[in-house]
Amino acid sequence: MNLIEMDILLKKTLKPGRYIHSVNTMKVAVKLAEHYGEDVEKAKVAGLLHDCAKNLNDGQTKRYCLENDIALSPLEENQVFLMHGAVGAVLARQKYGVEDPMVLNAIKYHTTGFAGMNTLDKIIFLADYIEPGRTHCDVQEARSLAFVSLDKALVSAFNCVIKYVISQNGLIHPFTIEARNSILLMTEKP
Amino acid sequence: MNLIEMDILLKKTLKPGRYIHSVNTMKVAVKLAEHYGEDVEKAKVAGLLHDCAKNLNDGQTKRYCLENDIALSPLEENQVFLMHGAVGAVLARQKYGVEDPMVLNAIKYHTTGFAGMNTLDKIIFLADYIEPGRTHCDVQEARSLAFVSLDKALVSAFNCVIKYVISQNGLIHPFTIEARNSILLMTEKP
């Protein structure tokens, strides 16, 4: 399936607002890929498809996890929306014909991050976070850092996500903490 | 060694401010133990000795870890002060003659927490956090909750610790996240 076919299928699948967000994320991901010397085609596909499982409800998401041997931790059982990345990677492969493991991985972890993210993983996480339609707290800080330092922008995004989850009395995904720690440990002594 | 002997040795070991904090923590731990039906003697010893390794510098702390087979993660190598709980448990056993595993465990994890804390673990963590000498951000919230709900007070404390570490651009210990998640998962659907 080429990008135009992916776009047509995605537009049919997602609600209009979510589809616009996906296109916006793709556009920012492309700019970041160009800036940081990452593969633009991979960024385009991963950016467009990162939320391709967002139309599924909790029951459908859980069924996809079960059918594809994706284990759910107690935290993920409780907050099933956290699995739309992992299920998105399955759908990207099964329905959109994406085979590239780098693209699938970037889709899989775009919500939580993980320790040892590569440049494409970071670009997709950040593009999703800062695309122009986003208006959440502190997004300006990450936006202003995005083309200065991918790592600093990402830490800013993680900080905001963690503080938001705390404000909602929600569960914090351990992967987000590990991702943030691994970047801080690799970049500078805190 | 009885409590009076422990107190004399601790006073000789710690700086005056840290010793006063230890006694304060013990007093709050005793009140919490009485309130929540926990063993008062265990709370007394754990509260008094929780910081008994705080006089050690990073090099000494690392040597104790090495000599006692305490593995340091990259995060802990970077923030060695996080190990004063684990080393404190070693000193409590070797120098203060404490054998009770519940007391040693409460000392070990009083800085980070961990998933599946028991009542004594929670009491020591919280007493350390809210004792009257503490003036850090949001301590009033945890103080006002301490005798209403141990779990709610603890989540408040964890929230503040996490936000403080973020404000310092520091590394967040995964155990703190796991401790907070496990309490939220066991108490109420977030």
Q: Within 13 A of A115's CA, how many CA atoms are on the CB side?
A: 12
Do B190 and A168 lie within an 8 Å CB cutoff? yes
Tell me which of B55 and A187 has the higher pLDDT: B55
Q: What is the pLDDT of residue A188?
A: 59
Nearest CA in chain B to A178: B174
One-character DSSP codes across A63-120: HHHHHTT----HHHHH-GGGGHHHHHHHHHHHTT----HHHHHHHHTTTT--TT--HH
| DSSP-derived 3-state class of residue A28 | helix
B156: left (phi over 0), alpha (psi -120 to 50) or beta: alpha
Q: What is the pLDDT of residue B32?
A: 98
Which residue out of B58, B75, B176 would a mutagenesis test of the A interface target, given it has the greatest number of A Cβ atoms within 10 Å?
B75
The two three-digit tokens of residue B60, written as one number: 């000494």
Cα B141 to Cα B59: distance, rounded to the nearest angstrom: 36
Furthest-apart CA atoms within chain B: distance in Å: 47
The two three-digit tokens of residue B82, written as one number: 């996080």
Average confidence (pLDDT) over B56-68: 95
Question: Is it the case that residue A189 has pLDDT exceeding 80?
Answer: no
Nearest alpha carbon to residue A122 among A57, A188, A28: A28
Cα A64 to Cα A86: distance, rounded to the nearest angstrom: 9
Question: Is it the case that residue B190 has pLDDT exceeding 50?
Answer: no
Note whether B103 and B46 are within 8 A (CB). Answer: yes
Percent of chain A whose pLDDT exceeds 90: 95
Amino acid letter, residue A58? D
CB burial class (10 A; 0-12, 13-18, 19+) of residue A23?
middle
ipTM associated with this complex: 0.90
Measured between CB atoms, does A116 come within 8 Å of chain B?
A: no
Do B177 and A181 lie within an 8 Å CB cutoff? no
* pLDDT band, residue A136 (cuts 50/70/90): confident
Partner-chain residue, chosen from B78, B177, B180, that has the shortest CB–CB distance to A185: B78
How confident is the model over A19-46, as pLDDT tens digits?
Answer: 999 999 999 999 999 999 999 999 999 9
Partner-chain residue, chosen from B75, B185, B190, that has the shortest CB–CB distance to A185: B75
Question: Is it the case that residue B65 has pLDDT exceeding 80?
Answer: yes
Do A78 and B189 lie within an 8 Å CB cutoff? yes
Measured between CB atoms, does B72 come within 8 Å of chain A?
A: no
CB burial class (10 A; 0-12, 13-18, 19+) of residue A151?
middle
The two three-digit tokens of residue B16, written as one number: 């005056």
How confident is the model over A104-126, as pLDDT tens digits?
Answer: 999 999 999 999 999 999 999 99
Q: What is the pLDDT of residue B125?
A: 98
Contacts of B179 in chain A (CB under 8 A): none
Question: Is it the case that residue A187 has pLDDT exceeding 80?
Answer: yes
Question: Is it the case that residue B167 has pLDDT exceeding 60?
Answer: yes
Which CATH class name applies to B3-188? mainly alpha
Nearest CA in chain A to B157: A166
Nearest alpha carbon to residue A38 among A129, A98, A127: A127
Q: What is the pLDDT of residue A138?
A: 84
Measured between CB atoms, does B78 come within 8 Å of chain A?
A: yes
Measured between CB atoms, does A160 come within 8 Å of chain B?
A: no
Distance from CA of A25 to the nearest CA of B (A): 26
Note whether B83 and B61 are within 8 A (CB). Answer: yes
How confident is the model over B29-39, as pLDDT tens digits?
Answer: 999 999 999 99
Q: What is the pLDDT of residue B136?
A: 82
Q: What is the pLDDT of residue A190?
A: 40
Nearest alpha carbon to residue A67 among A34, A35, A94, A48: A94
Q: What is the pLDDT of residue B188?
A: 59
Measured between CB atoms, does B1 come within 8 Å of chain A?
A: no
Cα A95 to Cα A91: distance, rounded to the nearest angstrom: 5
Note whether B184 and B155 are within 8 A (CB). Answer: yes
**Which helix (H) or strand (E) is A138 found in, with range?**
none
